[in-house]
């Protein structure tokens, strides 16, 4: 029953695709940033899409999880990704690692939280909230435990790691 309009466009071209419209809330989340090579441009788009006083809410998988091997908490990848990103050719998906898939070449960027925050601040937004969470929404490693509500956690008794984070930033009323 909710009225909605869906617009398909390159994220960096969103202001033009939306005819310059502005919004009270811009949401980005759950695995979106890993596909974006340019966070500064993304943050500029977010700021441009917001009304003065409007907010961006971001819920994202924690980039520290990207340093670990796919089946063990062993550091296997750099936290700071090269400018060209990391190219891979791996079948399956995060919802079903054994799913038969085609066109499996991807390029992903690991963006440290500091890069995300600094991009938003550089776009003139004001950070209001930054939280890290000890759960994720998919089986990132085979040893994670699924708990009520569908969240995945490190096994009970194991040291915890941040598996997700969220933040809220606002466009100032003036400026």
pLDDT for the residue 82: 64
Side-chain half-sphere exposure of 5, counting CA atoms within 13 A = 5
Beta bridge partners, 108, equal: 86
pTM over 0.85? The answer is yes
Which residues of the chain register pLDDT less than 70?
Answer: 82-83, 175
- Residue 107 has a pLDDT of 85
**Distance from the Cα of residue 78 to its chain's centroid:** 18
What confidence score (pLDDT) does residue 175 get? 58
Which pLDDT belongs to residue 124?
Answer: 98
- For residues 98-115, one letter each, b for 16 or more C-beta atoms within 10 angstroms of the residue's C-beta and e for the rest, the string is eeeeeeeeeebbbbebeb
Query: Each residue of 131-171: pLDDT tens digit?
Result: 999 999 998 999 999 999 999 999 999 999 999 999 999 99
What is the four-CA torsion angle of 163, 113, 36, 146, rounded to 10 degrees? 10
- Are the CB atoms for 74 and 68 separated by under 8 Å? yes
- Do 134 and 163 touch, CB atoms closer than 8 A? yes
């Amino acid at each position: 029953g909710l009225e909605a309009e869906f617009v398909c466009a390159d994220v960096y071209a969103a202001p033009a695709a939306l005819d310059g419209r502005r919004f009270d809330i811009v949401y980005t989340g759950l695995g979106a940033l890993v596909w974006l090579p340019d966070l500064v441009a993304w943050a500029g788009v977010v700021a441009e899409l917001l009304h003065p006083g409007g907010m961006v809410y971001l819920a994202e998988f924690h980039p520290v999880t990207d340093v670990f091997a796919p089946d063990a908490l062993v550091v296997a990848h750099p936290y700071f990704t090269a400018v060209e990103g990391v190219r891979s050719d791996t079948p399956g998906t995060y919802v079903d690692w054994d799913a038969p898939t085609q066109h499996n070449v991807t390029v992903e960027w690991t963006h440290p939280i500091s890069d995300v925050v600094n991009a938003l601040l550089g776009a003139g937004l004001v950070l209001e909230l930054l939280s890290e969470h000890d759960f994720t929404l998919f089986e990132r490693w085979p040893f994670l435990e699924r708990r009520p509500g569908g969240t995945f956690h490190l096994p009970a008794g194991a040291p915890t790691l941040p598996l997700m984070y969220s933040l809220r930033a606002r466009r100032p009323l003036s400026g």
